[in-house]
Amino acid sequence: MSTTDPFVLAWNSIRYHTSNMMDQADKHFDSMATTIRQKANDTSWLPQFPHRKSPPPPPPAAPMIIRDNGKGLGVVWTWVKEHKWLVAGLVVVVVGGGVLVVKRKRQRVRRRKALKAANGARKEVVVIHGQPHDPIVKSTAHDLERRGFVVYIAVSSHEDEQVVLAEGKTNIKPLQIDILDTLSARASISRFSSYLKSPVVPFQGAPPHHLKFTALILIPDSNFPSGPIETIPLDHWSDTFNLKIIQTLAITQLFLPIVTESRARVLFVTPGIGYSLRLPFHAPEVAAVGALEGVIGCLRREVSPAGVQVGWIKVGTLDLGTITEKKGNKESATRADVLSWSPAVRSIYARGYVCSKAVGDGVRGSSLKEVNAAIVAGMLDKRVKKIMRVGSGSVAYDFIGRWVPEGVVGWMLGLRGGRRVTENVRGISPGSRGSSSHSLESSVEWERVDK
C-alpha cells in the first residue's frame, strides 16, 4: 500500500539498500572461502587436514568375566552358581547353628542357682519325695544342694531317715512323714509350714531371714513288677498302686496348701518308655504312669489359677552306673522269670517276654545330669513345659507309641501274635537278640531236663 509519509518512505529505502548490501557481502565471502579452499587443496607444501567424521558407535558392553588371578575367585564363583541349592542349605545350617549357639548362651545366663538371703545364707527350700536309695533321687538331691538349695527328702521310716543322714550333707535333710498315720502326717506338715514362716538366724549375729518354698519334686520308684498279666499276683498290683500312686497322691495332697500359698512348682518324674510303647508284660508300670498322667492333667488345671505350675518329666534310658552288673544279671533273671511260669503260660508268652525285656538293650543310657538339668529348668524357668522328655529314647519311643500303627509297633517288639515257643525257638535268627534267643532256648531245654 502506497504512502506519502516521508519518514516511512525513508525507512523503506534504508531497509531495501541494507538488505542488498548484506546479500552482496554473503556472496562475496562465500566466493572467497571457495577460492581459498581450492588453493589450499592445490598447494603441496601445506599439511593435509583430515576431514571430520562422525564418531563411531560405542562397542557393546562385554560380559563381566571374573578371571582367576591366582586366588581362585573365578572357580569359586562358578561353583557357587552351579550349586545354588547346596549353598542355600549351607547358609541355612550356618544361620541355624548361630541361632542355636546364641540361644544356648542366653540359657547359660539364666538363673541356675538358688537365691541367697541378704546375709548370704541359703533361703530356697526344695522337698523331694522318693526312695532315698534311688539313683535319680540321690543325684537330684546332691545337684540341688550344690546349687544352693536346702533339700528335704520325705521319708516314712527310720531306715530311710538313716539313709539320708548317711549322705553327710548339712543341707540334705530327712523330713519324716508317715502317710499311713493321717494325724501324724498332718502334724509333720504343720511343723514344716511353721518352720518356713519363722525367721531363721543362720549364725550368731546375722540378721534373720525367711525361707522360701520353691518346688515339690515327686519321683516314684522306677522298679515295677513285670510279666504276663495272668501271672502277676494281685498283691503285687496292690503294692505297686500303693507305692507309686497312693503315696504320691498323699504327699501331693499334704503339700498342696504350702504349694499354693508359696506359688511353688510341682514336678513329677516318671519312666517314659514303657508307658509310651504300652510295652507288653509291663502292665503295672503302664497302669501306674497312666494314672499319674491323669492326676497331673487334673492338678495342672486345678492349681493354675493360683499361679502354680506343674511339670511332667518323662525319663528314657539312663546310665545309672550299674548297667554292667544289670546286664550280667538280666539274662539269668529273665530265665528265672520264665521258668517260674506254668508250661502252658510259658509256651504262649515266653518269646514275647524275652523280646520285651530286650527293648533298649542296645541304647546307651544318658547321664543323670540331663534329668538334673530338666528339674532345674522346671524349677527356675519363667514358664514350665507341660512335658519334658529326657534320656535316650524318650523322644523316639514317645513318637513311635503315638503315631506308628500298633501292628508295626508289635512287629518292632518281636511279637508273633500268639505263636507258641515250642514252634518258634529253633527259628529265631541270631542277631541283636541272639543272646536272649539262646537264653530262651536254654530255658526250655532246662525245663525239659527237669521234667
pLDDT digits (tens, 9 = 90+) for 56-106: 677 666 555 545 554 556 677 777 777 777 777 787 778 877 777 776 666
Q: What is the mean pLDDT of residues 223-250?
A: 93
Closest CA to 220 of 183, 250, 192: 250
| CA dihedral sign of residues 367, 368, 371, 373 | negative
DSSP character at residue 253: H
Q: What is the pLDDT of residue 405?
A: 86
pLDDT of 429 higher than 60: no
Each residue's pLDDT tens digit, 303-341: 999 999 999 999 998 887 654 445 557 778 888 888 889
pLDDT of 195 higher than 80: yes
pLDDT of 395 higher than 80: yes
The H or E element spanning position 218 is strand 212-218
> Which residue type is seen at 57?
P
pLDDT of 22 higher than 80: no
Q: What is the pLDDT of residue 358?
A: 75
pLDDT of 48 higher than 70: no
How many Cα atoms are found within 13 Å in the side-chain-facing hemisphere of 1? Answer: 1
Q: What is the mean pLDDT of residues 15-31?
A: 75
> Which residue type is seen at 225?
P
Select 124-201+209-319+364-404's CATH number: 3.30.1370.10, 3.30.360.10, 3.40.50.720, 3.40.640.10: 3.40.50.720
What is the rounded distance in angstroms from the CA atom of residue 327 to the CA atom of residue 325?
Answer: 5
Percent of the chain having pLDDT more than 90? 43
pLDDT of 150 higher than 60: yes
Q: What is the mean pLDDT of residues 348-360?
A: 82
Q: Is 372 or 6 the better-scoring residue by pLDDT? A: 372
Q: 355 with 414: CB under 8 angstroms?
A: yes
Q: What is the mean pLDDT of residues 358-376?
A: 84
The DSSP code sequence of 13-81 is HHHHHHHHHHHHHHHHHHHHHHHHHHHHHH-SSSPPPPPP-PPPPPPPPPPP----SSS-HHHHHHHHH
Q: What is the pLDDT of residue 450?
A: 36
Q: 263 with 257: CB under 8 angstroms?
A: no
Name the grid cell of 239. 503294692
Spatial neighbors of 389 by CB under 8 A, at least 6 apart, are 272, 313, 314, 316, 395, 398
The DSSP code sequence of 307-356 is T--EEEEEE-BB--S-HHHHHHHHHHHHHHHHHTS-HHHHHHHHHHHHHH
Tell me the pLDDT of the chain averaged across its residues: 80
Q: Name the residue ranges covered by the structural domains of the chain.
A: 124-201+209-319+364-404, 322-362+420-451
| CA dihedral sign of residues 337, 339, 345, 346 | positive
Q: What is the pLDDT of residue 19?
A: 75
10-19, 266-275, 286-295: least confident range:
10-19
